[in-house]
Structures are given as C-alpha cells and as structure tokens.
Chain A
Amino acid sequence: NAGVMQNPRHLVRRRGQEARLRCSPMKGHSHVYWYRQLPEEGLKFMVYLQKENIIDESGMPKERFSAEFPKEGPSILRIQQVVRGDSAAYFCASSPGAAQETQYFGPGTRLLVL
C-alpha cells in the first residue's frame, strides 16, 4: 500500500524560473493538503484541495503560487517566478475524507532557488 508520493524529491531552480511540485495521494484518499516548512519553523498550511476543487487556500501567497488537483493525475503546486525566499521543503498530505486527525504526509520536495 503505497503512501503519499511526491516528486521530484529535490528541485533546483534559478530565480525567475517556474517550479512544479507533484503529489499523488494515498490510494483511496481524495483530499490533499500542501504545507511549507522553512528552516527552524513548523509546517505552515498553504492549501486544501479535493478533486477539481480548491476548498481552502487561505495559506497561499496571493501572487505566484497556485495549486490544482485535477480529475485525473496528481495534485500540482506551481510556483511562478521563484525567488530565493521560496527555498523550503514542501510537503503534501492526504486524507480519506475531511477528517481532522488523519492527514498522512509524503516525503516532501526540497526546493532550492539559486
């Protein structure tokens, strides 16, 4: 039973480029969450999606960041025109429903912006 899959595990981008992070939830899970983890800081919520719907994007920066979870395929977190401050670990979590206690995390994508 595969867990939450994320790729790539490491991503290096130069300032101004686009970063695309992918997340495949656990089998049977239809709810996806994206979190960002900066050094010395806890995980910060970014966005919550269900298939084809953004439910809560209150943690997303207003510009350059977007997320989707299409009917087919993985959830994508897209960061346009990356800046050095975007360097962080980005984690995806999934849950079978909108349960409060069962978010399972993937291994993360570590983004480095040069």
Chain B
Amino acid sequence: QKEVEQDPGPLSVPEGAIVSLNCTYSNSAFQYFMWYRQYSRKGPELLMYTYSSGNKEDGRFTAQVDKSSKYISLFIRDSQPSDSATYLCAMSGTNTGNQFYFGTGTSLTVIP
C-alpha cells in the first residue's frame, strides 16, 4: 500500500466550476499537509499547507484535512484556465523524517 494515494485523473471541468481534489493516506503520524501545483515541465509550486485537522482558505483555494478519515482535499472555486496543471498533495510528520511524501498528482484541465 502506498503511503499517499491520489487519483491521477485526468480531470476536465468548464471554466467557473468548483474543483475538488483529494488524497488519502495511511500513516497516522502525518501532521503537515501540503498542496503543490505543477505546470508542465516546471517545478512544484507550494499552494497551501495545513497543520493537523481543519480548514484553511486562501483566495479561491480551500484546503481541508480530516485526520480521523486520513483524507485531505483541495477545493478550487471559480476555476480558471490558468488553473490547468497537475496538483500534488504532500505530507510529513515530526516523526517521519524531513522528507515529504507525495501523491502521484491529479491532472486538471479547465476548459474556457
């Protein structure tokens, strides 16, 4: 079983739609949860991070963490064509070393 599972998609939505991206994980020691956006042939760009359970909002992006279900989500409101990218979830914990554990990424296309 992989440490972090993420549906690779691809996901295609019309402009203005609400997008939901999700990851599940198996290691209960994870405490820090990150979302990265990666454009084609570029490096991952940190979008959001949350600590432990709860919600965090930043503009059109909302990150949710449910540690009891080992499930995290990223919501994108009013999606734009410029949001078309691969979205990677990442996780770490104080007892899991300094590495991040990444999902395989979900490819998103927002159609104008």
Size range of the chain B interface in the assembly: 20 to 34
A55 contacts B by Cβ under 8 Å: yes
Q: In the complex the two chains form, what is the Cα distance from A50 to B88 in whole Å? A: 25
Cβ-defined contact, A100 with B44, below 8 A? no
Question: Residues of A contacting B34 with CB < 8 Å?
Answer: 101
**Using a Cβ cutoff of 8 Å, how many contacts connect chains A and B?**
67
Question: Residues of B contacting A43 with CB < 8 Å?
Answer: 44, 88, 90, 100, 102
One digit per residue, 1 when the CB lies within 8 angstroms of any chain B CB and 0 when it does not, for chain A 31-67 equals: 1010100001111110010000001101100000000
Which chain B residue lies CB-closest to A107?
A: B43
B99 contacts A by Cβ under 8 Å: yes
Question: Residues of B contacting A107 with CB < 8 Å?
Answer: 42-43
Question: Residues of A contacting B32 with CB < 8 Å?
Answer: 100-101
Q: In the complex the two chains form, what is the Cα distance from A75 to B36 in whole Å? A: 23
How far is the CB of B21 from the nearest CB of chain A, in Å? 14
A19 contacts B by Cβ under 8 Å: no
B31 contacts A by Cβ under 8 Å: yes
If A100-B32, A101-B34 touch, whether A45 touches B46 (CB-CB below 8 Å) is: no
B104 contacts A by Cβ under 8 Å: yes
How far is the CB of B41 from the nearest CB of chain A, in Å? 8
How far is the CB of B56 from the nearest CB of chain A, in Å? 11
Cβ-defined contact, B104 with A56, below 8 A? no
Cβ-defined contact, B98 with A98, below 8 A? yes
Cβ-defined contact, B46 with A104, below 8 A? yes
Provide 7 A-B residue pairs closer than 8 Å at the C-beta atoms, listed in order of the A residue: A31-B98, A45-B99, A45-B100, A58-B97, A101-B51, A101-B92, A103-B100
Contacts A43-B44, A100-B94 supplied; 6 other A-B pairs, CB < 8 Å: A31-B98, A35-B102, A42-B6, A42-B104, A56-B99, A108-B42
**Which residues of chain A have a CB within 8 Å of any CB of chain B?**
4, 6, 31, 33, 35, 40-45, 48, 55-56, 58-59, 91, 98, 100-108, 110
